[in-house]
Structure 1
Amino acid sequence: MATRRSSGGCNLLECNSPGANGEGIVAIHSETRGPTAFFRDAGIVAFYAFDASGNRTTTDDAHWSWTNYSLTDTRGRKAIGAESALPPFIKESLLASSDRYYIEYENGWLFGEMPDMQHEHYGDGRAPGYFRFSFSDDRFVSGRKHPLQSVDDIRQALDQDLFKPASPARLFERIMRRFLERLKLQLSELSERLDSIEDHIVGDAWQGESERLAPVRRQIVASHRYLSITANLLRHLEQTHRKEFPEELGDIVEDLSQRAGALHQEGEQLQARARLLQEELMAKLAHRSNQLLYVLSVMTAVLLPSTVISGFFGMNTAGLPFADERHGFWIVAIFALTISAIVLLIVRRIGGPGR
């Protein structure tokens, strides 16, 4: 079987045995490169082994490891089911047929399904993603049905040695923090777009802003939904299992809960702001419609007397007044205009100042 060299200097098959090139590790497959046949047969998307300091190492020398499976690959699902080291409730969580957001802690394992964004290069970056994970002191096992943006960002950071997680809990923390950072960036961009729309609405160039505001509101709602789910799950986890956590994990969950809560409030403020802009825009549209209706009403009222008079004198019958008068037309026209002028004055007085 042909082998391929990893970034650590050993080939991907040799990295599962000790002493390969002295460096060991392995980042097995990226989200953007095809897996080797060895790991493809196991349905593995990525695998890393770490020492106690978070440096990558061989599996035999590893203090803990991260295995990420493809849950749409039957081989990956079979590999999870065959793992004797995984408790039954962890297998059930990873292999669940339906997607739902939740997080639980049981017998030293933190597991669940947290929100993430689908990878922007492989689908709609705004579409919801589901990150299934479980970890204990020495194992981190995860899976996904679609490439996930935050998970791939962390994988790239590991490949470039920009991040060295000393424990599975630290890896979980970094993935969640990356997800929250992306949401914060989205909120900042949406806030800037709202600033631009607000400037136009407050000024005189508000026409057409409704088409700009609608997609911004949709994105704010989607981001707020992500934040609401994340904040609620982490807050529930902290309140329910805080006393059961090891000190490191307890601090991590508390910090993530606070970060998610703060972002959730920021999302609520942004949503309220977008709603107020929508209401102000609708008020301006209603005011403009009322002005147009007022003009039409005035025109109708002013022209009504002339219409009645012209209709009266337009009847094809004998004995009409002024029919034989030399200046009959002008007498009727002046009379109709006078009545219309009187009606206009009355309508303007009824309409109030400024009309």
Structure 2
Amino acid sequence: MDGDDRGTGLQKTAREPGLVWCYRCDEKGVSVLDAALPPPDTPFRWIHLNLSDQRSLRWLEERPEFGPSIHALMLTRDSHQRCVVEGGVVGLLLHDFERGFDPSSVGRIGSLHVALSDGLLVTGRYRPLHSADLFRARLEEGEAAEDAETALGVLLATLTDSMGSLVLDLTTELLDAEENLLVDDLAPDTRRLIAARRRAAQLHRMIGGMRATLQRLERQPGLPPELAPVAQRFQPRLSALDTDIVAAQNQLKLLRDELDLQAAQRINSNIYLLSILTALMMPATLVTGFFGMNTSGLPFAQGQHGTLMATIVALVSAGGSYWLLKLMGLVRRQ
């Protein structure tokens, strides 16, 4: 009997998907967030899957409401942002930052797979994403997700707020770096500027792609009418964020130009100083070279103060060179 129960439990475990967390909302509006698969008769369910688990792929294949296009979008490894509407089910592939061991850190761009039908929202990822924790935090704080419309609004709002926070942090970092450079003459770390440039390019790609995806979703003929206003509502803010990130990229370019200009000025100053020193030392070098010849009839060779006299001639020649350069306007204060 125990063996039969163990075998039944193993079969049940094999059929369940690789869950990260689940959310359900019943008829009374009571919401529960846990790690167990909600009952099929629950009015609304939000299931977040680990797509690297083969059980999740098998579970998605068994969903009768997901057509071939939705199924292919949920399983694809392609990271291109796009949308699909098939049989009243909305499929989205959106960008998000991958998360490492530190939940507050963000890294490479990953993909969030979304399938939304009446009463069911399925999200999945192949690698841990930054937004998954934000989704869960909002739901734990009592964010309403009672149907497909409100759940899609929570999902898009979370992604938009997350990218908006990253854009604000990037803009603030660049403003501080520019202020330190222009006021305190403190040059920023080059590695931080390279990281900021990479982050700006990532955000521009993510925000622009998400806005274009929502625009295409709004024009899909089979889109449920209650979801069209949700897709339209976030487009102005994404457009504003895209404008902000382009402005941050331009600010970063100006900051790099200022750093390059200051570096060029320092190089020019050093070259100018070396040129003046070379011009001053050249006559003295010529004098010392002349008196260093082992030939007969050299001036001051027979006297007691020949070395002193040669030194005076070298200094006078160097001073004459300096006076001549100043007279020609080639010596100036830096």
TM-score, scaled relative to structure 2: 0.84
Once the two structures are superposed, the pairs formed by residues 24-63 of structure 1 within 5 Å of their partners are 38=13, 41-51=16-26, 55-56=30-31, 59=39, 61-63=41-43
RMSD (Å), alpha carbons = 2.6
Shift in alpha-carbon separation, 1:117–1:283, aligned structure 2, 3 A:
same
Once the two structures are superposed, the pairs formed by residues 81-160 of structure 1 within 5 Å of their partners are 81-121=61-101, 125-158=106-139, 160=140
* Map of 2:249 onto structure 1: 271
Structure 2, unpaired ranges of 5+: 1-11, 33-37
Q: CA deviation at 1:53?
A: 7.5
* Map of 1:11 onto structure 2: none
Shift in alpha-carbon separation, 1:232–1:343, aligned structure 2, 3 A:
farther
Shift in alpha-carbon separation, 1:166–1:204, aligned structure 2, 3 A:
closer
Question: How many Å separate the matches in 2 of 1:39 and 1:275?
Answer: 53
Shift in alpha-carbon separation, 1:210–1:121, aligned structure 2, 3 A:
closer
Task: Provide the secondary structure at the position in 1 that maps to 2:146.
Answer: coil
* Map of 2:6 onto structure 1: none
* Map of 1:28 onto structure 2: none
Shift in alpha-carbon separation, 1:332–1:40, aligned structure 2, 3 A:
farther
Q: CA deviation at 1:281?
A: 1.2
Letter in 2 for 1:354: R
Task: Provide the secondary structure at the position in 1 that maps to 2:24.
Answer: strand
Structure 1, unpaired ranges of 5+: 1-36
Percent identical: 25
Question: How many Å separate the matches in 2 of 1:337 and 1:161?
Answer: 83
Question: How many Å separate the matches in 2 of 1:53 and 1:255?
Answer: 28
* Offset from partner CA, 1:144-193 (integer Å, 9 cap, x none): 112222223222332x3511213223212212211221222122222222
- In structure 2, which of residues 32, 46, 55 is the aligned counterpart of residue 75 of structure 1? 55
Shift in alpha-carbon separation, 1:305–1:353, aligned structure 2, 3 A:
closer
Once the two structures are superposed, the pairs formed by residues 294-333 of structure 1 within 5 Å of their partners are 294-333=272-311
8 Å Cα contact 1:151-1:175 kept in structure 2:
no
Task: Provide the secondary structure at the position in 2 that maps to 1:351.
Answer: coil
Question: How many Å separate the matches in 2 of 1:339 and 1:302?
Answer: 8
Question: How many Å separate the matches in 1 of 2:28 and 2:272?
Answer: 76
8 Å Cα contact 2:187-2:259 kept in structure 1:
no
Question: How many Å separate the matches in 1 of 2:23 and 2:188?
Answer: 52
Shift in alpha-carbon separation, 1:133–1:308, aligned structure 2, 3 A:
same
Question: How many Å separate the matches in 2 of 1:323 and 1:161?
Answer: 98
Question: How many Å separate the matches in 1 of 2:248 and 2:15?
Answer: 44
Q: CA deviation at 1:61?
A: 4.9
Shift in alpha-carbon separation, 1:249–1:106, aligned structure 2, 3 A:
same
Aligned length: 316
Shift in alpha-carbon separation, 1:98–1:221, aligned structure 2, 3 A:
closer
Q: CA deviation at 1:133?
A: 0.9
Q: CA deviation at 1:296?
A: 0.7
